[in-house]
């Protein structure tokens, strides 16, 4: 590629469940303004704009076109991404391609969702065959519950470990002023929550949130002019297939799209000990079993060891390998920005600018992931240096 690519500006809104006095455009404007201020640039410096949003989930169509005056996209080239849960990481990756190719030097990437006006679950629940499985589907819960049971059966993980994950997430989110669900829960609180679909109860599932996140990406020459603490998008891998077994890996011979993504990324970057050579992982974790299960699937730790790291407290914000120290998708899930938020939060950890939820270890490299129900896995490696 012609250019190395750095994140030089990061901005996000506060996330919440309802903000009826703010429209989509105003959410976008706030995130973009914050990112531009962080980069010390103006909208006139942006050469292209990449937008990411699941407008279908909200009952809209082409809302990036309707909102281009708020985003700064009017009169500028760009792309609209719409890939389910991965839309945020794909928007960041799309921005990377446009800068890395040499086509542009400075690109703005934006992800957003406003679920208080159009919640995603009704849309997800009604895309299935009405004669076959409509009555059995409750958004994405059915598939996530199935893989949770499978993980418990093969690994020895228990409900209590998932409850520990959610309790840890609440402690992290409480320290993150931008997170949606900031209430602190104990393991007992989580265990006593109302069951949704076994083994997932209400607190073990991600919420429905609204918010926006924006980042400014720049080529190496521009980044060194603009930013004192650029965060380098060192590598990324996208894996997607069109059948459930490859995403969820149900069966005797498991090889999921997460596994493929982890294997490719670590091999290309000569990483043999991910929990040593990377220092934090902002994971797309939409349900409580995701963190232990997907640490294994991304090949960050050994099979059947993820829940043991939870039990030992290794994955807490102050632990030896923090996972989702922002509170993760378990506490904030505005789908259009859920995955781009993982990239932004990982970058903040590398910069040392995460505030109260800054991890206690020095972060030289960080992982960020996106997950999509279309059997899609994105895994990104961010670095403090270009080495």
Domain assignment present for residue 147? The answer is no
Mean pLDDT, range 224-231, rounded to an integer: 94
Mean pLDDT, range 318-323, rounded to an integer: 97
Q: In this structure, are residues 378 and 339 in contact, taking their beta carbons and an 8 Å threshold?
A: yes
Over pLDDT 70: what percentage of the chain? 92
Instruction: Using the predicted structure, report yes or no on whether residue 125 has a pLDDT greater than 70.
Output: no
Domain assignment present for residue 370? The answer is no
Per-residue pLDDT band at 126 (split at 50, 70, 90): low
> What mean pLDDT value characterizes the chain?
91
Q: In this structure, are residues 286 and 280 in contact, taking their beta carbons and an 8 Å threshold?
A: no
Signed CA dihedral, 237, 284, 52, 10: sign only? negative
Phi and psi torsions of 61, nearest 5°: -150, 125
- Give the pLDDT of residue 254: 81
Q: In this structure, are residues 373 and 286 in contact, taking their beta carbons and an 8 Å threshold?
A: no
CA distances from residue 16 to 20, 88, 136 in whole angstroms, order as listed: 11, 18, 29
Mean pLDDT, range 55-65, rounded to an integer: 80
**Number of separate domains in the chain:** 1
**How many C-beta atoms lie closer than 10 Å to residue 261's C-beta?**
25
Number of alpha carbons in the 13 Å side-chain half-sphere of residue 198: 3
Q: Measure the CA–CA gap between 97 and 90, rounded to whole angstroms.
A: 10
- Give the pLDDT of residue 240: 85
β-pairing verdict for 210-219 and 200-201: unpaired
- Give the pLDDT of residue 84: 84
Q: Measure the CA–CA gap between 198 and 221, rounded to whole angstroms.
A: 52
Q: In this structure, are residues 314 and 279 in contact, taking their beta carbons and an 8 Å threshold?
A: no
Domain assignment present for residue 304? The answer is no
- Give the pLDDT of residue 183: 97
Q: Measure the CA–CA gap between 118 and 121, rounded to whole angstroms.
A: 9
Signed CA dihedral, 188, 310, 324, 139: sign only? negative
Q: Which residue has the tokens 């959410």?
A: 27
Instruction: Using the predicted structure, report yes or no on whether residue 252 has a pLDDT greater than 80.
Output: no
- CATH code of the domain containing 65: 3.40.47.10
Instruction: Using the predicted structure, report yes or no on whether residue 124 has a pLDDT greater than 80.
Output: no
Per-residue pLDDT band at 206 (split at 50, 70, 90): very high
More confident residue, 63 or 270: 270
- Give the pLDDT of residue 27: 94
Domain assignment present for residue 71? The answer is yes
Based on its alpha-carbon atoms, the radius of gyration of the chain, rounded to whole angstroms, reads 19
Kindly report, residue by residue over 131-164, the tens digit of the pLDDT: 555 555 556 787 888 889 999 999 999 999 999 9
Domain assignment present for residue 22? The answer is yes
Q: Measure the CA–CA gap between 222 and 217, rounded to whole angstroms.
A: 10
- Give the pLDDT of residue 348: 98
Domain assignment present for residue 341? The answer is no
Mean pLDDT, range 315-326, rounded to an integer: 97
Per-residue pLDDT band at 56 (split at 50, 70, 90): confident
Domain assignment present for residue 79? The answer is yes
CA distances from residue 1 to 86, 230, 239, 308 in whole angstroms, order as listed: 23, 19, 20, 40
Domain assignment present for residue 242? The answer is no
Q: Which domain holds residue 65?
A: 5-120+208-226
């Amino acid at each position: 590629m012609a250019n190395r690519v750095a994140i030089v500006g990061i901005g996000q809104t506060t996330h919440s469940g309802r903000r009826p006095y703010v429209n989509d455009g105003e959410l976008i404007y706030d995130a973009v303004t914050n990112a531009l201020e962080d980069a010390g640039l103006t909208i006139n410096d942006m050469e292209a704009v990449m937008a990411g949003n699941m407008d279908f989930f909200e009952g809209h169509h082409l809302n990036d076109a309707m909102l281009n005056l708020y985003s700064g996209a009017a009169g500028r080239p760009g792309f609209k991404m719409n890939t389910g849960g991965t839309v945020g990481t794909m928007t960041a990756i799309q921005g990377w391609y446009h800068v890395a190719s040499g086509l542009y030097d400075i690109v703005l990437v934006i992800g957003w969702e406003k679920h208080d006006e159009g919640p995603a679950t009704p849309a997800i629940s009604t895309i299935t065959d009405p004669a076959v499985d409509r009555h059995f589907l409750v958004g994405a819960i059915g598939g996530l519950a199935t893989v949770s049971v499978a993980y418990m059966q093969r690994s020895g993980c228990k409900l209590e470990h998932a409850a520990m994950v959610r309790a840890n997430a609440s402690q992290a989110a409480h320290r993150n002023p931008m997170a949606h669900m900031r209430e602190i829960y104990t393991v007992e609180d989580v265990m006593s929550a109302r069951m949704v679909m076994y083994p997932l109860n209400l607190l073990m599932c991600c919420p429905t949130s609204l918010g926006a996140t924006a980042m400014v990406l720049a080529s190496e020459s521009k980044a060194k002019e603009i930013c004192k603490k650029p965060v380098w998008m060192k590598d990324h891998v996208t894996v997607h297939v069109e059948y459930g077994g490859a995403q969820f890996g149900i069966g005797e011979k498991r090889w999921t799209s997460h596994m493929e993504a982890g294997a490719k990324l670590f091999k290309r970057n000569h990483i043999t000990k991910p929990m040593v050579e990377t220092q934090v992982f902002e994971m797309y974790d939409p349900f409580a079993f995701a963190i232990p299960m997907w640490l294994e699937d991304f090949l960050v730790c050994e099979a059947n060891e993820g829940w043991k790291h939870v039990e030992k407290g290794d994955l807490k914000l102050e632990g030896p390998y923090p996972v989702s120290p922002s509170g993760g998708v378990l506490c904030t899930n505005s789908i259009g920005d859920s995955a781009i938020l993982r990239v932004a939060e990982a970058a903040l950890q590398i910069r040392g600018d995460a505030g109260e939820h800054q991890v206690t270890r020095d972060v030289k490299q960080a992982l960020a992931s996106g997950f999509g129900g279309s059997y899609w896995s994105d895994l990104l490696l961010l670095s403090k240096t270009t080495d």
